[in-house]
């Protein structure tokens, strides 16, 4: 792995990814918010509160639960685990969470053990459910006939992120001090990039994914609030 590649992944891409993601999502949100919506599209039974209806739908997917039970099981597990892993990544960038936990009486080794167990299980679960969801696309006729290149590319990219993340987790020990230093250095615009190969692969895949989100169907990660609000409006 050359230094140039490391610098590109750890020193250039993060800024590009952040810019693309923030600008892309802001543009989407703005364009949706700005487009006029003359009428309500309430779908009954209407929730007595729009907010509660939208939150229930985004947190637990009750519509999908009633509509396609097995898809619900895999996709809810996938998304819930993804959220957990996302939270876990707070530790990657800052020691803040560790400090709080230590205040609460956790030992440093205890935190690492908990992280290894929960993170390890989550990493495997995420890859397994993601793979099932991707394979489902080929297995079921009704999904196969609506699947195009973007529908395969997005999950593949996501699986690449998960897989490289798992490589880091289950490969040689990776000291989080490196990424915390890296995060801090990014903030002061003087990037110091960890030289770990798995880290660079994982970061590359993750950065590409983040840039791709506003322009792909993973957009639903923000758009779902808008669409659900339209039909859950009481």
Partner 1 sequence: MSQTKVGVSEVPHRQNDARPALSSKQPAVAAAKPPAGPAATDRDRGKEVIEAIQAIRGGPRVLRLYMEMCARCGTCATQCPVYFGKPEAGYNPVLRSDLIRRLYRRYSTPAGKLLGSLNGDCRLDAGILSEWVESFYSCTGCRRCATFCPMGIDNSVITRKGRGIVDKLGLTPETMKKVVQISLQTGNTDGASPEAFRAAIQFLEEEMREEHGVDIRIPVDVQGADYFYIPPSGDVLVNPEATMGVAKVFHVLGMADRWTMSSKCFDGANYGLFTGNDADMKADNKAYVEEAKRLGSRVMLMGECGHAYRIMKMMMEPQKWWGDLPFKIVNCMEFTAHQIRSGKLQFDKSKNHRPVTYHDPCNFSRSCGITDEPRLILEASCQDFREMYPNRAMNWCCGGGGGLSAMDDIQQFRMEVSGRKKLAQVRETGAKYVATACSNCKRQLGQLMEHYKDEVGVGGVHDMLSRAILINGRAADRTSYE
Closest CA to 57 of 207, 234, 227, 204: 227
Q: Does 46 interact with partner 1 (rule: CB under 8 A)?
A: yes
Nearer residue to partner 1 within complex by CB, 128 or 143: 143
Determine, following the binding rule CB under 8 A, whether residue 37 of this chain makes contact with partner 1.
Answer: yes
**b/e for 7-30, b at 16 or more Cβ within 10 A?**
ebbbbebbeebeebbeebbeebee
| Selected binder of partner 1 within 2, 4, 31, 190 (CB under 8 A) | 31
Q: Taking the complex as a whole, how short is the minimal distance between the CB of residue 209 and partner 1, in angstroms? A: 16
Query: Is 230 among the residues that bind partner 1 (CB under 8 A)?
Result: yes
Q: Decide: is 231 part of the binding site for partner 1 (CB under 8 A).
A: yes
Minimum distance, C-beta of residue 146 to partner 1, in the bound complex (Å) = 4
* Cα 186 to Cα 180: distance, rounded to the nearest angstrom: 10
36 part of the interface to partner 1, by CB under 8 A: yes
The least CB distance from residue 48 to partner 1, in Å, is 12
Q: Figure out which of the listed residues 10, 20, 24, 57 binds partner 1, where binding follows CB under 8 A.
A: 57
Q: Considering the complex, what minimum distance in angstroms separates the CB of residue 37 from partner 1?
A: 4
* 3-class DSSP assignment, residue 72: helix
Binding mask 65-94 for partner 1 (x = CB under 8 A): -xxx--x---x-------------------
The site map against partner 1 for 139-168 (x = CB under 8 A) is -xxxx-xxxx--x-----------------
Question: Which residues, 6 or more positions from 111, have their beta carbon under 8 angstroms from its beta carbon?
Answer: 98, 101, 102
Considering only residues 166 through 185, tell me which ones interact with partner 1, judged by CB under 8 A: none
Q: Could you give the string, one character per residue 190-219, with x where binding to partner 1 holds by CB under 8 A and - elsewhere?
A: -------------------------x-x-x
- Beta carbons of 154 and 212 less than 8 angstroms apart: yes
Dihedral angle, C-alpha 169, 174, 176, 177, nearest 10 °: 180
Q: Are 233 and 50 in contact (CB under 8 A)?
A: yes
Q: Name the residue among 182, 220, 218, 222 with its Cα closest to residue 199.
A: 182
Question: Can you read off the two tokens belonging to residue 30?
Answer: 């703005």
Q: How far is CA 172 from CA 144, 147, 205, 218, 228, in A?
A: 39, 38, 19, 31, 44
CB 53 within 8 A of CB 234: yes
Q: Does 38 bind partner 1 (CB under 8 A)?
A: yes
Binding interface with partner 1 (CB under 8 A): 28, 31-33, 35-46, 57, 61, 63-64, 66-68, 71, 75, 140-143, 145-148, 151, 215, 217, 219-220, 223-224, 226-228, 230-232
């Amino acid at each position: 792995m050359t230094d140039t590649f490391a610098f590109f992944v750890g020193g250039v891409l993060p800024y590009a990814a952040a810019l693309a993601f923030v600008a892309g999502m802001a543009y989407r949100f703005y364009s949706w918010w700005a487009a006029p919506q003359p009428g309500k599209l309430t779908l009954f039974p209407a929730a007595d509160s729009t907010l509660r209806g939208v939150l229930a739908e985004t947190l637990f997917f009750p519509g999908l639960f009633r509509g396609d039970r097995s898809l619900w099981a895999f996709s809810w597990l996938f998304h819930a685990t993804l959220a957990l892993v996302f939270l876990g990544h707070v530790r990657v960038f800052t020691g803040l969470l560790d400090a709080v936990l230590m205040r609460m009486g956790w030992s440093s080794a205890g935190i690492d053990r908990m992280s290894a167990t929960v993170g390890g299980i989550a990493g495997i679960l995420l890859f397994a459910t993601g793979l099932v969801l991707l394979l489902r696309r080929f297995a079921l006729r009704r999904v196969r006939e609506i699947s195009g290149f973007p529908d395969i590319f997005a999950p593949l990219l996501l699986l690449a992120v998960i897989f490289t993340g798992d490589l880091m987790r289950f490969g040689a020990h990776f000291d989080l001090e490196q990424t915390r230093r890296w995060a801090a250095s990014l903030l002061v615009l003087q990037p110091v990039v960890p030289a770990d190969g798995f880290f660079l692969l994982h970061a590359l895949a993750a950065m590409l994914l983040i840039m791709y989100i506003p322009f792909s169907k993973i957009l639903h990660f923000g758009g779902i609030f808008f669409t659900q609000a339209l039909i859950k409006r009481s």
